[in-house]
Amino acid sequence: MEVKPTIQKAILQAISSIGTNGASIIEMEKHVSCERHTLSKYLSFLQAQGIVYHKIFGKAKVWFINKAPLQTVLNAKPGQMTFTEKILSNICATIPYGLFVIDADFNVLFLNEKMKGVYGPIVGEKLYQAVLDEKSPTSFQAVSSLIASEQSSCEMEIEYKLGKTLRFKGTKLINPDDTFGILLIVDDVTARKKAEEQVREHRELLQAEREALNRAAIVAETDLAGRITYANDKFMEISGYSLQELLGKTHQIINSGYHRKPFFRDLWKTIARGRVWQGQIRNRKKNGNFYWVDTVIAPVFGKDGKPVKYLSIRFEITRLKETEQALAGRKNKKSQPQ
């Protein structure tokens, strides 16, 4: 025996339209154009295929759709659900996202408790009116495309009501009667979007600050052993060394020999303790010429609160030091007896 698709569709539509409490053959006869004994055979065949099932209530046999539309399952009362349907219903009720099921005309067929708490009992209303207070589904263009095409899913974000942002993920659900609905998972991503925007703005600010600093200062980074891991263009320009010549070396490469060992010992003790060191240092270029820098060296801390590298920022003050030294020399001359 074989059930024609048109007859199968009529039977499933009849059971679905009668309600979630199931349908008896007497009730189905009013919707399906065939005699009762033939209808009984059709139902037995569909039951063998797992499409429908029945329950006995007293002397009455009541039929249910085994592969019911999702909204039918979710709207059913717990006592009317199979074990699998109960699990599905519990999952939908407890997921940390909103959930809607709509038909091809944007009518709300089902919404979970999370969405009921926000929008109230809006079953039967147009989704775009109930959620966005709009007169047309213009904002739901991706969902409209999903309904009108053969694609199976879509994703979109909608901004509304004082900058609130909702992310919708839609999936097409094909029902046993060949109709379809759209399952929409809704996530309020307002806080996440704001956080992402703040991170982006912070990153852009840091980038702008770094560019400004690179133009004005000599910048270098070293590991904990003092080996250079980064040097900006100004460092290379003033020292005369290329980046390849600097990377992996210590600042000994530009040591002028002017400062005594205790000077650098104090520097290293300070930054190793997690403190900032500041002072003036005379360095030597690759060509042997000397230059002075006003220097700040700061430790960069890791998650454990301990230094993971050192950042040094230097400003050239060679002319200032030369002027100071010249003035000091004249002063000493004047103070000497004639």
Q: Say if residues 172 and 180 touch (Cβ distance below 8 Å).
A: yes
State residue 77's pLDDT score.
63
Which two tokens mark 194?
A: 């704001």
* pLDDT tens digit sequence for 162-207: 678 889 999 988 765 566 788 899 998 888 888 888 889 988 988 8
Sketch out the chain's domains with CATH numbers.
5-67 (1.10.10.10), 71-189 (3.30.450.20), 217-325 (3.30.450.20)
Q: How confident is the model at residue 231 (pLDDT cuts 50, 70, 90)?
A: very high
Could you tell me if residue 159 is left (phi over 0), alpha (psi between -120 and 50 degrees) or otherwise beta? beta
Q: Residue range 244-259: average pLDDT?
A: 95
Model confidence at 112: pLDDT above 90: no
Those residues with Cβ within 8 angstroms of residue 282's Cβ, 6 or more apart along the chain or in another chain = 256, 258, 259, 290, 291, 292, 321
* pLDDT tens digit sequence for 11-68: 888 887 777 678 888 888 888 888 888 888 888 888 876 677 888 888 888 888 765 5
Model confidence at 234: pLDDT above 90: yes
CB atoms within 10 A of CB 49: 11
Q: Say if strands 98-102 and 228-231 run parallel, antiparallel, or are unpaired.
A: unpaired
Model confidence at 111: pLDDT above 90: no
- Based on C-alpha coordinates, what's the Rg of the chain? 39
> Which residue in 239, 219, 227 sits closest to 312, CA to CA?
219
State residue 271's pLDDT score.
95
Give the residue, 281 or 213, on which the prediction is more confident: 281
Q: Which single residue is written with the structure tokens 């999370």? A: 114
